[in-house]
Amino acid sequence: TSTANAATPKAGGTLYFLEHTPRLDHYDPSRIYTGRDLAFMNSFHTRTLVAYNPVPGEKGTTLVPDLATNTGVPSNEAKTWKFTLRPGSTFEDGKAITCEDVKYGTSRVFATDVINDGPAYLQSWLDIPKNADGTSTYTGPYKNTPAGVAAFNKAVTCKGSTITFNLNKSIADFNYLATYGVISPVQKKLDTGDKYDLNPQATGPYKIVENSATQLRLVRNTKWKKSSDPVRTPYPDEVIIQFGLDEEVIDQIMLEDTIPNAVNFGGPLPTNRDKFFKDAKFADRRMNNSDPYARYLAFNLVKMPCLEIRQAMYYARDAKALLDYAGGPDYAGSYATGVISPLLATDFEATKVVGPSDYKNTADVIDATTGFKPSGNVAKAQAYMDAAKTKCPADYKKATETGIVIDGRPSASDNDTIPINVAAYARVGIKISYNLIKSGYYPTVMDATKQSDLSTSGWGADWANASTVIPELFTTAGGFNLSQNSKDPAYKAFEDKVNLAMKTTDRKKQAALWKELDKEAMKNFWVLPTLFGKAQEIWGSAVQNVFFWVPQGNLAYGKLWINQ
């Protein structure tokens, strides 16, 4: 992690972000869920009740008050949370932000037909009765029943400038959710539902003045007052995301420093990484960090019930070739040992269930504890296959004859890995093929009937607690269980332990439980962990004060300034 020179920041100038995709997924605070977009919008545009401290290093993970004057006060065994709003903060139209605005903002996520894609914690945690199918009886502000509204008004209450959330269970880290826009002020009379996404009211120092197919342009929000915002420091006059640029073009711009005040929003192409990282010229303009994601393949247990086959696939994999292809340890990260990323707070030091005992060790030798070998432990994999042959002959036949189908999203680099995988699994007689889903990947694979035998996926914690990882991925209550593991013999015990962990308010003890659960999930081979990834950042020579914002897993965009 490098920090560019700590000279006195200067205000002014335009800060460019060069981006390949045609737009960000969402701008509506209730709908943003992607780490980078969140870091961006929260840095400039949207204020939340509490925020991560935008400073380098570990300190960045601490919560600081933002719109609220505190970081949340729990009571009633953390079933009730109170936040008091800071006076003097306004929307971009000058209207003061009230408790009612925040309450209204939280109500919106219940209108799932309009406000989608955002984190769904509020729906499951707020103390509102649920229907038989698990949906909330409250259906949001647009279209609802009096009973639903009454329930919601009981769950979220306003008293002066204090907002109270009543939860249906103890949530020790509920205040972390308050770093998300799902709990942020929205003016009822300006809410345009779906269309609010295009130009949401700013509460931070910048507001949107153009949101088109080519750019998102933010300029200073004149109604914003430094005095009311302890977190943000607006330096540039304008912030622009330039969309749809060819990735190669972006890299070339960076290499040539054509636009010194620009940041490569998506990171350099793999092909150009060496140019940036092997050349001292770019020493002040590059960064290579672990990213907050754990990557894995989720076994669909409904179609892959045989543990031995799953194990064989794990050991037969040529992880080394894949890591090398992805850029080696320098650029691509390390062999994943579970689904909890090492970037998560220190109490989640990586578990040693599968993979190398030390995830930083990339030597191609058999790991004594786990039997993992980066280039594949073919002997061990073969042994599992042999076992499978007698134990679950039907699955064995499928693996060796029909072939195992893996869901994936088409991408230039993933395409290349297909032959690598085909060759690796062939070593133990496993046939694989790919089902590449272009659009609507998750809606497709989340549907157990449409999901193939394995699905490529990745997950990062929503905040620095594995409570946003293990239950999400491995329980039926979680929102992202691609493993379909409820029929697995080990599931019941696992779920009980998860519930126990959720109730544990002591962070240390809770963390220990999560680690054990991570281990268990790995032992059951519900997923096949692949990488703890890395990400590279590149920026122009005029961009100053660049540092990695650990909890967001991205740069602290709000702290950048332009050296003119």
> CA geometry: angle at 207 spanning 201 and 209, to 5°?
105
Chain positions 270 to 289 lying near other proteins, rule: CB under 8 A, are: 270-275
Are residues 220 and 237 in contact, defined by beta-carbon separation less than 8 angstroms? Answer: yes
Closest separation in Å from C-beta 273 to other proteins? 6
CA distance 538 to 543: 10
The region that residue 524 occupies, defined by phi over 0 for left and psi between -120 and 50 for alpha, beta otherwise, is: alpha
237 phi, psi to nearest 5 deg? -75, -40
Q: 96: which 2 tokens?
A: 């003061």
Closest separation in Å from C-beta 269 to other proteins? 7
Q: How many residues bind other proteins (CB under 8 A)?
A: 80
Closest separation in Å from C-beta 461 to other proteins? 15
Chain positions 494 to 533 lying near other proteins, rule: CB under 8 A, are: none
Select from 224, 293, 239 the least CA-distant residue to 458. 293
Closest separation in Å from C-beta 415 to other proteins? 4
Chain positions 174 to 213 lying near other proteins, rule: CB under 8 A, are: 191-195, 197-198, 212-213
Select from 521, 528, 512 the least CA-distant residue to 372. 528
Closest CB to other proteins among residues 72, 260: 260
Chain positions 30 to 89 lying near other proteins, rule: CB under 8 A, are: 33
Stretch that binds other proteins, among 46-54, 62-70, 247-255, 491-499 (CB under 8 A): 247-255
Chain positions 119 to 178 lying near other proteins, rule: CB under 8 A, are: 120, 133-135, 141-144
Identity at 242, one-letter amino acid code: Q
Closest separation in Å from C-beta 457 to other proteins? 11
CA distance 215 to 22: 9
Closest CB to other proteins among residues 55, 422: 422
Closest separation in Å from C-beta 432 to other proteins? 11
- Give SS3 for 113: coil
**Pairing status of strand 14-18 against strand 238-242:** parallel
Closest separation in Å from C-beta 464 to other proteins? 21
Query: Which residue of 4, 16, 373, 483 would you call a contact of other proteins, by CB under 8 A?
Result: 16
Helix axes 378-391, 307-316, angle to 10 degrees: 160
Q: What is the dihedral of CA 386, 390, 391, 397, to 10 degrees?
A: 80
Residue 371's contacts (CB-CB under 8 Å, 6 or more residues apart) are 315, 377, 380
Closest CB to other proteins among residues 96, 142: 142
Query: Which residue of 252, 346, 402, 564 would you call a contact of other proteins, by CB under 8 A?
Result: 252
Closest CB to other proteins among residues 174, 434: 434
Query: Which residue of 150, 283, 363, 423 would you call a contact of other proteins, by CB under 8 A?
Result: 423
Chain positions 295 to 324 lying near other proteins, rule: CB under 8 A, are: 321, 324
Q: 340: which 2 tokens?
A: 């909890």
CA distance 218 to 205: 9
Query: Which residue of 55, 418, 477, 512 would you call a contact of other proteins, by CB under 8 A?
Result: 418
Closest separation in Å from C-beta 148 to other proteins? 12
Closest CB to other proteins among residues 424, 546: 424
Closest CB to other proteins among residues 146, 440: 440
CA distance 200 to 31: 11
Query: Which residue of 117, 238, 284, 358 would you call a contact of other proteins, by CB under 8 A?
Result: 117
Burial 16-51 (b: 16+ CB within 10 A, else e): bbbbbeebbebbbbbbbbebbbbbbbbbbbbbbbbb
Query: Which residue of 87, 393, 410, 489 would you call a contact of other proteins, by CB under 8 A?
Result: 410
Query: Which residue of 245, 399, 469, 501 would you call a contact of other proteins, by CB under 8 A?
Result: 245
Burial 201-217 (b: 16+ CB within 10 A, else e): bbbbbbbbeebeeebbb
Closest CB to other proteins among residues 120, 512: 120
- Please tell me what DSSP assigns to residue 184: S
Q: How many Å separate Cα 274 from the centre of its chain?
A: 27
Identity at 71, one-letter amino acid code: T
CA distance 52 to 516: 28
Closest separation in Å from C-beta 150 to other proteins? 17
Contact letters for other proteins, residues 326-355 (x by CB under 8 A): -xx-xx------------------------
**If you count DSSP H runs as helices and E runs as strands, how many of each does the chain have, helices first?**
17, 21
Query: Which residue of 57, 88, 419, 489 would you call a contact of other proteins, by CB under 8 A?
Result: 419
Chain positions 526 to 555 lying near other proteins, rule: CB under 8 A, are: none
Stretch that binds other proteins, among 309-317, 405-413, 533-541, 547-555 (CB under 8 A): 405-413
CB atoms within 10 A of CB 539: 28
- Give SS3 for 532: strand
CA distance 286 to 268: 10
Closest separation in Å from C-beta 475 to other proteins? 14
Q: Does 114 bind other proteins (CB under 8 A)?
A: yes
Closest CB to other proteins among residues 177, 354: 177
Query: Which residue of 11, 369, 442, 476 would you call a contact of other proteins, by CB under 8 A?
Result: 442
Stretch that binds other proteins, among 58-66, 175-183, 409-417, 490-498 (CB under 8 A): 409-417
Query: Which residue of 46, 201, 242, 337 would you call a contact of other proteins, by CB under 8 A?
Result: 242
Residue 5's contacts (CB-CB under 8 Å, 6 or more residues apart) are 284, 544
Chain positions 464 to 493 lying near other proteins, rule: CB under 8 A, are: 479-480
Closest CB to other proteins among residues 104, 384: 104
Query: Which residue of 1, 227, 346, 415 would you call a contact of other proteins, by CB under 8 A?
Result: 415
